[in-house]
Structure 1
């Protein structure tokens, strides 16, 4: 799987942090049905690996399910065992190195030019400029001046208003957490309908065609019988 090409096509990477695996899976279902088909479940979510494994089993292959906030080599191995399609790290962590060494598609966090080059030398398929909101779209544009071919994904502080600005500055995609999820991942938080509306707004703002994946029906929150 070519992570760079996949993210370039999909434009939006949803970052899911939830109170537990069931809520994470509900968010996955809602986002996939809304048309977002690249998703990262952060390992800060209790039961994240279980959620990743179940989502990977129940979603079609066209939906990418990644493991996020991978810090250690053990976490990288666990994400691989859970059949995560890719790994996301906040920086050049031991988990990033282990994933690259094992050939797992890697979205590696970086901020400075030195870190971006190091991540690419490590074998990252794309580089997560994080926290992008610290300096804004102008900083990403400046990064691309000496590194015009670097596959950069803007993550951290990206919302529906600024997402098009990051793409215009040269990002191949944006990663979005709380501005998209809101409180949908928390017990008693936003309804899934509100999450779906925010997802639609992001996709419309970036002119990304919405192609809901029907087989997300196997995830929690549906009455249709789960697949074996």
Structure 2
């Protein structure tokens, strides 16, 4: 099993290549959501650094759910990166391309998925050593953009985020994405508000089933 020094498992990731994005929710609800996430067979979860108590949440999730890949998202600065690493984040996700953040993560052997929009940014991030490039926001770009970028840059691993839903997730994998990031479209608001975690688990399973043929 391939891991980095903080225990990120690519083997686990590829079993369910969805990065679940958790932002601005209370701790107790997050723990219940993550339990449902794990029980649904999903493996990689991101806590954004602009969530209150993000570092503490990451630490606790690492302890309570050692079988999951737990990472930090919305990492924009070197300060954010330092806090995330100290909290035990196993991977880093950014909404922007901060070259220094990428370089340090690569030096520390921590997988990093920097957010990029243009082909030039995407290629730059990859050349700096990004493990995959988060295409963000993918809402307006859509599936065709992923196909267009991968035509000349087929060696780059793309992780579209923003605008990915249960209805279109399959098409992103068909276009060549190695995974997707999902936030509000994954954490069904009605189920979360009703604290229907069994229903949420089944919803997670239904999304995973959409990409079943792309799983190992």
Please give the range of the TM-score, normalised by the shorter of the 2 chains. Answer: 0.7 to 0.9
Q: Report the equivalent of 1:118.
A: 124
Q: Report the equivalent of 1:225.
A: none
SS at match of 1:36: coil
Structure 1 unaligned blocks of 5 or more: 211-228
Aligned residues: 208
Q: Report the equivalent of 1:195.
A: 200
Q: Distance in 2 between matches of 1:201 and 1:18?
A: 24
2:48 aligned residue (20, 42, 53) = 42
SS at match of 2:189: coil
Q: Distance in 2 between matches of 1:111 and 1:80?
A: 25
Q: Report the equivalent of 1:82.
A: 87
* Residue pairs, 1:1-228, within 5 angstroms: 1=3, 5-6=10-11, 7-60=13-66, 62-93=67-98, 94-183=100-189, 188=193, 190-207=195-212
SS at match of 1:175: strand
Q: Distance in 1 between matches of 2:94 and 2:79?
A: 13
SS at match of 2:24: coil
Q: How far is the alpha carbon of 1:133 from its aligned partner?
A: 1.9
* Deviation readout 1:94-124 (Å, 9 max, x if unpaired): 5444423433210111111101111112211
Distance 1:100 1:122, change over 3 A: same
Structure 2 unaligned blocks of 5 or more: none
Q: How far is the alpha carbon of 1:189 from its aligned partner?
A: 5.0
Q: Distance in 1 between matches of 2:164 and 2:211?
A: 13
TM-score (normalizing by structure 2): 0.87
Query: Is this contact kept in 2: 1:100–1:106, CA < 8 A?
Result: yes
Q: How far is the alpha carbon of 1:43 from its aligned partner?
A: 1.3
* Deviation readout 1:139-173 (Å, 9 max, x if unpaired): 00000011011011111010011100000000011
Q: Distance in 2 between matches of 1:191 and 1:66?
A: 25
TM-score (normalizing by structure 1): 0.83
Distance 1:208 1:20, change over 3 A: farther
Q: Distance in 2 between matches of 1:147 and 1:8?
A: 21
Q: Distance in 1 between matches of 2:14 and 2:198?
A: 27
